[in-house]
């Protein structure tokens, strides 16, 4: 089984991705798709007049402020628009895809953060009503049932909190936890860059392989959201996934190319 996470950054077109997935499924590969929706959420939030706000933690990490309205917009963008777009495209190619979110079948369960520390103009504020958290438990029963029935699961955030609310989580790390829970052979994290670049944005500085003893150093090369991808890749391999690849979703056959080791391979 392989778990493929499709990014939502600029330059990514689901059509080439889906036709590649269709070929793999027809050749007998069992595939589980995960996607995020950060950019789509930001765009929809602008259109709906509730623009995105990003918080900076005291350690310098940024995260989306997820108030109740933002949570709804996040669900509309991820589970509503992007998820159904991928399912539609696969159905058009005669692949029997099924869209679910992390709250369906209690697939992704985690703790909702009870307080977020955010720095604003040098002052640290505590925010208590945010709907965000991390996936701590993956219950793969729903995925195994779908795959055994010949369906291709397409999984979208949010996750379910331990107290039963939807929560905004990082889809790369959720994909990693899912790959581990399913005993997947590969986790492919596809985005709009060739892989982890030693000196971003120079695409010729691609790091081709990172072995386990060097995992701790890998995060040092990444900035911003790429840090989460590196963390997800290393977490997956440490949890038993044979290898994780950060690869390019742009162009033709992006999944086959990543499976062949194009990108940054963590093993
Ligand atoms: P997606 O939404 O497709 O999952 P993200 O936007 O979360 O992707 O992360 C990919 C982005 O990370 C790239 O578009 C790039 O701007 C940024 N990035 C930061 N540092 C690096 C790096 N060292 N190598 C590659 N990309 C990097």
What's the CA gap between 152 and 21, in Å, rounded? 10
- The CATH number of residue 32's host domain is 3.40.1160.10
If DSSP codes are grouped into helix, strand and coil, which group holds residue 46?
Answer: helix
Structure tokens at 65: 């402020």
User: 148: exposed, middle or buried (C-beta count within 10 Å: 0-12, 13-18, 19+)?
Assistant: exposed
- Residues in the chain where the model's pLDDT stays below 50: none
In this structure, are residues 62 and 55 in contact, taking their beta carbons and an 8 Å threshold? Answer: yes
Q: How far is the CA of 201 from the centre of ligand 1 (A)?
A: 9
In ligand 1, which atom is closest to the CA atom of 198? 23
- Sequential DSSP letters for 110-162: EPBPS-EEEEETTEEEEE----BB---EE-THHHHHHHHTT-EEEEES-EEET
Q: How far is the CA of 225 from the centre of ligand 1 (A)?
A: 6
What's the CA gap between 246 and 232, in Å, rounded? 10
Bridge pairing between strands 62-64 and 137-138? unpaired
In ligand 1, which atom is closest to the CA atom of 249? 3
In this structure, are residues 163 and 112 in contact, taking their beta carbons and an 8 Å threshold? Answer: yes
Please give the tally of structural domains in the chain: 1
Q: How far is the CA of 27 from the centre of ligand 1 (A)?
A: 31
Note the pLDDT of residue 43. Answer: 96
- Report the Cα–Cα distance between both ends of the chain, in Å, rounded: 17
Note the pLDDT of residue 5. Answer: 98
Is 190 near ligand 1, meaning CB less than 6 Å away?
no
Is 192 near ligand 1, meaning CB less than 6 Å away?
yes
The boundaries of the domain holding residue 95 are 2-266
Q: How far is the CA of 193 from the centre of ligand 1 (A)?
A: 7
């Amino acid at each position: 089984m392989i778990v493929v996470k499709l990014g939502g950054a600029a330059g990514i077109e689901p059509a080439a991705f889906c036709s590649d997935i269709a070929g793999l499924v027809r050749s007998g590969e069992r595939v589980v798709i995960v996607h995020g929706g950060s950019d789509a959420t930001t765009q929809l939030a602008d259109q709906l007049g509730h623009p995105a706000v990003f918080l900076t933690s005291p350690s310098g990490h940024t995260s989306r402020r997820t108030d109740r309205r933002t949570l709804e917009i996040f669900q509309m963008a991820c589970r509503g628009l992007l998820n159904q777009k991928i399912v539609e495209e696969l159905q058009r190619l005669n692949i029997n895809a099924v869209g679910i979110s992390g709250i369906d079948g209690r697939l992704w369960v985690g703790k909702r953060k009870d307080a977020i520390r955010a720095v604003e103009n040098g002052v640290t504020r505590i925010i208590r009503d945010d709907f965000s958290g991390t996936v701590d438990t993956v219950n793969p029963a729903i995925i195994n049932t779908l795959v055994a029935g010949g369906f291709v699961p397409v999984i979208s955030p949010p996750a379910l909190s331990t107290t039963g609310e939807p929560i905004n989580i990082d889809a790369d790390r959720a994909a990693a936890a899912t790959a581990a829970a399913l005993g997947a052979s590969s986790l492919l994290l596809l985005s709009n860059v060739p892989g982890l670049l030693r000196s971003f944005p120079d695409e010729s500085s691609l790091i081709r392989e990172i072995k386990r003893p060097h995992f701790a150093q890998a995060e040092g090369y990444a900035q911003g959201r790429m840090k989460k991808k590196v963390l997800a890749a290393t977490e997956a391999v440490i949890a038993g996934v044979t290898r994780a690849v950060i690869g390019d979703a742009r162009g033709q056959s992006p999944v086959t190319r990543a499976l062949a080791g194009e990108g940054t391979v963590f093993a």
